[in-house]
């Protein structure tokens, strides 16, 4: 069993790393940036790289023997502890001077996330969680809304390209739009923070990377929610879709109406 004192030390380091990265991002936010394209055609800027360098410097100073998996630098080191780092989740928003971007840091151990920090510098908010220790937003405890019928639920959609292209996915989304009390497309960190505090009831995304959502998965779960992929499977390092809900019953209903092939 992991010692609480270790998790608290890791959380302190992760919060400091996220704050340092956020500072790098805000210094460049709203300014002209040179944008490059990676092999997968996703954009990357000097802000991404500077933020990741700040995170790695902080975490490596605290835990030199740990392994690291960064969005920009890739995977390095060998350890039972693996830090998952997305220094700028929402690069496209950042480039267009939209504030929907964040710093995502998680600690992976024994096939699960044991710590997560989600820092949104433009919003001035930070959510975090440690396994078994609850979830918090700027020190305030988070709790999902709990049981709610789909007809009273507030849903948020994120990236949906694969889901919308699947045979069952698009019709299911249309049903949700018609039946839910309210549907929005907040995306990125924002809708997971709102889910964890009870302002939303479910989040659906079909095109994500584990680095985008690892920290958020623990925050939602520690707030009492359910976080799986669109096939109902728990988070792994290969996860590429999300079905998160504030209650088991709502999660079960949404899952039953979505196609496995969209996951």
Mean pLDDT by 10 residues, the chain (263 residues): 86 98 96 85 91 98 98 95 97 94 98 98 98 97 95 96 85 93 95 98 96 98 98 96 97 86 44
Domains and CATH numbers, the chain: 4-133 (3.30.540.10), 150-262 (3.40.190.80)
pLDDT in tens, 88-137: 999 999 999 999 999 999 999 999 999 999 999 999 999 999 999 999 99
DSSP secondary structure letters along 240-253: --EEEESSHHHHHH
What integer pLDDT is reported at residue 259 of this predicted model?
Answer: 60
Is the dihedral angle over the CA atoms 207, 211, 217, 219 positive or is it negative?
negative
Tell which residue, 222, 225, 181, has the closest CA to residue 203: 225
Is the dihedral angle over the CA atoms 216, 226, 145, 4 positive or is it negative?
negative
């Amino acid at each position: 069993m992991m010692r609480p004192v270790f998790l608290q030390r890791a959380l302190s380091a992760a919060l400091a790393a996220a704050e340092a990265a956020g500072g790098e991002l805000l210094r460049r936010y709203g300014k002209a940036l040179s944008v490059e394209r990676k092999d997968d055609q996703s954009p990357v800027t000097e802000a991404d790289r500077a933020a990741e360098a700040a995170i790695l410097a902080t975490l490596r100073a605290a835990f030199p023997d740990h392994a690291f998996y960064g969005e920009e630098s890739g995977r390095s080191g060998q350890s039972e502890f693996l830090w998952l780092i997305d220094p700028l989740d929402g690069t496209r928003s950042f480039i267009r001077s939209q504030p929907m971007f964040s710093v995502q840091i998680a600690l992976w151990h024994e096939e699960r996330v044991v710590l997560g920090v989600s820092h949104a510098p433009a919003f001035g908010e930070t959510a975090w969680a440690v396994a078994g220790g609850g979830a918090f937003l700027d020190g305030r405890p988070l709790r999902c809304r709990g049981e709610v019928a789909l007809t009273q639920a507030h849903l948020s959609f994120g990236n949906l390209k694969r889901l919308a292209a699947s045979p069952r996915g698009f019709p299911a989304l249309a049903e949700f739009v018609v039946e839910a009390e309210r549907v929005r497309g907040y995306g990125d960190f924002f809708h997971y923070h709102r889910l964890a505090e009870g302002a939303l009831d479910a989040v659906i995304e079909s095109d994500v990377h584990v680095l985008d959502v690892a920290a958020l998965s623990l925050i939602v779960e520690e707030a009492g929610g359910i976080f799986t992929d669109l096939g109902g499977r728990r988070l792994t390092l290969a996860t590429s879709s999300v079905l998160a809900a504030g209650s088991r019953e709502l999660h079960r209903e949404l899952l039953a109406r979505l196609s496995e092939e969209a996951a």
